[in-house]
Structure 1
């Protein structure tokens, strides 16, 4: 099967010489057709630049970008079979919802009746049937996000690019829209490429994801693999919450002298255990309390289910875990 999107040693540098900014640095990437793919990373990690390279709004300094096997390096954005949903939605405030959705078809010269019919079809798809005559200012944030989504889909792109589209929504609405986006992608069967700095969004929606750091991909794989088997300290720390144990401590626990990751949910407080320390903090999380211990120079956290007894701050406590949950990582 031909990949929907393929990067071959793609770089995007800004400036020249020793002061050049390597926004994207020799990235290799393959995105499967029909998948929900997430690009996850902190600000400045290169993920949004990669999205702009796919859309054509940025040109690579080196390497090749292919969309369904076609080298698109010299193809302008309006001739690529992709469309983008932006974080700020970029709706025209003077147009009603129907005309906003139909705008791309109008630019293509589609007759008015046909483009309005297609716009209404898209509005029903995103559960906004009957909203066509309203202006964007009369809609909630979630509704405006759906209008932007309908506008991107009306041109029937083979790849839909989403640039942190849920960032402006409150938590409850953002979680609801995550479910809707995933459901919509599965119904349409087109490739979604989703950029976010929110690990929960990436883990809950993506079939596969790439974790970016300093212009490079730190790790790529399924959400389950990246969470359970982080390759580096950066990935372990950025994706979820993890106890990162230095080589000397890993060796003292019976393993090799390597950095290791131990997720707090795989630990428990015990009368005795391989890890002991002084309780420095109790952080209530609702369903559990995060208990933080200081062992030498290392902080170690365990999750205690709601209702279970908690140690007192300043007391000595032990943490136990199953050996298979201690995951060894590269020295980075």
Structure 2
């Protein structure tokens, strides 16, 4: 498979701060690729390195095989959708979308026709004469997306574009972005700190931590088989079990990950129970209740489906799970 973007030992330093530290990364052509990590992990800096708004301190960046490490942003086959949309308030929607084509010297008639095509693509037919202030947050996000797509980039960069939307609209836009990417076949590189967003939208995922990549893989691979405690903690909600507890459950003396949905509650003393603990916390989640138990000094979470009796804080319960659900991690 052709690589849309390749990082080869790329670093970006700001004085003594290593925002990106020796990153090797391959983004396949046509992928919906997510960069996930906490604030300050280096994911946004990597996006800016692809766009050309930052230059690498060391290393090489290639876009479809071309070394772009020193090529300015406007000469790269990429475009960016920003979190704040960056729309021109004095221009109407049509001219906002057509702005890049105007800069390229395209005639007014041609660029407006192309802008209307893009507005139809993002389901905003008939909105061309409106100003950005007359639009909702989701509509402004679509205008920003149309403006980025009108220049026909080979790679579309999205810098937390859904961060300003409310939950319901955010979920709707996730579905629309994923469908649009599949329809166009473009390479999308999506930066987010929202683990659920990354897992639900991406087909490839890189988890960043302290300027480095902690793990790369499919969302399912990273969720089911995290490589380290950091990945297990950050991607989804996992029980990270210390070596002594893992060993007491029949595994080697090694850190392990056990997802809450793999854990079931049974009555204390039940022969099915693999470990017992005291209930220390309850959180109602609608479809389930999250139960926190402390066992051998470690807090373990389990999900109790709605409709089942919920224990009280202080009660003792045993836990059971399929041994295959216990994932051993190499990294501490």
Q: TM-score, normalised by structure 1?
A: 0.98
**For 1:156-193, what per-residue CA distance to the aligned partner results, in whole angstroms no more than 9, with x for missing partners?**
00000000000000000000000000000000001000
User: Structure 1 residues 295-304 or 95-104, which shifts more?
Assistant: 295-304
CA apart distance, 1:281: 1.1
Question: Runs of 4 or more off by more than 4 Å in structure 1?
Answer: none
- Confirm whether residue 60 of structure 1 aligns to residue 56 of structure 2: yes
Question: Using the alignment, how far apart are the partners of 1:135 and 1:201 within structure 2?
Answer: 29
- Confirm whether residue 247 of structure 1 aligns to residue 243 of structure 2: yes
The residue correspondences of 1:157-306 to structure 2 (distance < 5 A) are: 157-271=153-267, 272=270, 273-306=273-306
- Confirm whether residue 114 of structure 1 aligns to residue 114 of structure 2: no
User: Structure 1 residues 306-315 or 243-252, which shifts more?
Assistant: 306-315
Question: Using the alignment, how far apart are the partners of 2:311 and 2:151 within structure 1?
Answer: 59
Question: Using the alignment, how far apart are the partners of 1:331 and 1:123 within structure 2?
Answer: 47
CA apart distance, 1:330: 2.0
Q: SS state of the match for residue 279, structure 2?
A: strand
Q: Which of 88, 96, 112 is the aligned partner of 2:92?
A: 96
Q: SS state of the match for residue 146, structure 1?
A: helix
Structure 1 gaps of 5+ residues are none
**For 1:180-228, what per-residue CA distance to the aligned partner results, in whole angstroms no more than 9, with x for missing partners?**
0000000000100000000111101101010000000000000000000
Question: Using the alignment, how far apart are the partners of 1:259 and 1:186 within structure 2?
Answer: 38
**For 1:231-258, what per-residue CA distance to the aligned partner results, in whole angstroms no more than 9, with x for missing partners?**
0000000000111100000001110000
Question: Using the alignment, how far apart are the partners of 2:297 and 2:266 within structure 1?
Answer: 21
Aligned 8 A contact 1:122 1:153 in 2: yes
Q: SS state of the match for residue 250, structure 2?
A: coil
Q: SS state of the match for residue 31, structure 1?
A: strand
**Which position in structure 1 is the counterpart of 2:141?**
145
Question: Using the alignment, how far apart are the partners of 2:203 and 2:312 within structure 1?
Answer: 42
**For 1:99-121, what per-residue CA distance to the aligned partner results, in whole angstroms no more than 9, with x for missing partners?**
00000001111111000000000
CA apart distance, 1:59: 0.3
Aligned 8 A contact 1:258 1:331 in 2: no
Structure 2 gaps of 5+ residues are none
**Which position in structure 2 is the counterpart of 1:42?**
38
CA apart distance, 1:2: 2.6
Question: Using the alignment, how far apart are the partners of 1:92 and 1:297 within structure 2?
Answer: 56
Q: How many residues align?
A: 328
Question: Using the alignment, how far apart are the partners of 1:308 and 1:252 within structure 2?
Answer: 29
Question: Using the alignment, how far apart are the partners of 1:300 and 1:131 within structure 2?
Answer: 51
Question: Using the alignment, how far apart are the partners of 2:108 and 2:331 within structure 1?
Answer: 60
Q: SS state of the match for residue 227, structure 2?
A: coil
Q: SS state of the match for residue 4, structure 1?
A: strand
Question: Using the alignment, how far apart are the partners of 2:330 and 2:61 within structure 1?
Answer: 29
Q: TM-score, normalised by structure 2?
A: 0.98
